[in-house]
Amino acid sequence: MLGGPKKKLLQINNLMDSYAKNIVHIGPSGHGQLTKMVNQLCIGSLIQGLSEGVALGKKV
C-alpha cells in the first residue's frame, strides 16, 4: 500500500512490480503513513490481548 500522486505511481510501477506482489494506491501523500499507523494499532491490540490471555491462563 502506498500513498502519493497516481501519476508518480504509474512512473514507478515497473520498479515496484519487481519486489511487490500486490500494489494498492490508497490515496494522496501521507495516506501510506496513516495506513501503517492503523496497522500498528491493530497489531498492538492483538499482542496485548494475547498477553492478557497468557497471564490469565497462568493464574488458573
**Does 60 or 42 have the greater pLDDT score?**
42
Q: Tell me if residue 36 is catalytic.
A: yes
Q: For residue 12, what pLDDT is reported? A: 87
Residue 2 confidence class, pLDDT cut points 50, 70, 90: confident
Residue 54 confidence class, pLDDT cut points 50, 70, 90: very high
∠ CA 37-26-14, nearest 5°, is 115
List 7, 36, 58, 59, catalytic entry: 36
Q: For residue 56, what pLDDT is reported? A: 94
**CA dihedral defined by 41, 42, 45, 46, rounded to 10 degrees?**
-150
Whole-structure pTM value: 0.61
Write the pLDDT tens digit of every residue in 24-51: 889 999 998 999 999 999 999 999 999 9
Q: Which three cell numbers stand for residue 13?
A: 510501477
